[in-house]
Structure 1
């Protein structure tokens, strides 16, 4: 069974929406998933993190190209590539955790 991140995010959104509806119907004063300070939501946090990861990857590519052209120090190239590798490993680990959580939610009885 192939599960991708977008289906996990859609499942999270639908679960959050149904939780919000049930809380509104019970006239609860506080909604699930909201912050009192008006902060960003979970999906915004994920989007910002992924944008930052893409930025790190692009920076590593640019520095690598400069290194190939002889315009960058080898130390800078190694640091940028190492940082990009660490970022990619972190993104993959988080993706795996989200997918495992999604699969566990699917196994829960309704």
Structure 2
């Protein structure tokens, strides 16, 4: 009888492990924004390092590519911010 209980218990544990999500829960809006800002900061740091290396005889092509990548990423973040502000203002204008 105890063998049956142990078998049922093990089966239920296996089912529970199978049903648990294996991916991490969603970060939410704040987490997404923080991650994007972190990536932007890293890209800008990479561009600064490429320019620093350029002054010591580094590759000019790599420096230009890094600077353009940082500029495009920054412009994208500004546009996203502008769209978010416009959406917020639109919501605030709504009558309840």
Question: So what's the TM-score if we normalise by structure 1?
Answer: 0.63
Match of 1:68 among 55, 63, 77: 55
**Structure with more relative contact order (C-alpha pairs < 8 Å, separation 6 or more):** 1
- Any unmatched runs of 5+ in structure 2? 1-23
Equivalent position to 1:83, from 56, 64, 69: 69
Out of 39, 45, 67, the residue aligned to residue 32 of structure 2 is 45
Moved over 4 A (4+): none
Deviations 1:36-95 (A, max 9, x none): x7221111011101110011011101111111222x201100110010011011011101
Q: Work out which of the two has the higher radius of gyration on C-alpha atoms and give 1 or 2.
A: 2
Q: Normalization by structure 2: what TM-score? A: 0.71
2-structure distance, mates of 1:104, 1:64? 41
Distance in 2 (alpha carbons) for counterparts of 1:68 and 1:104: 48
- Alpha-carbon RMSD: 1.2
Larger helix proportion, structure 1 or 2? Answer: 2
Distance 1:107 1:77 in 2: 45
1:109 aligns with 2:95: yes
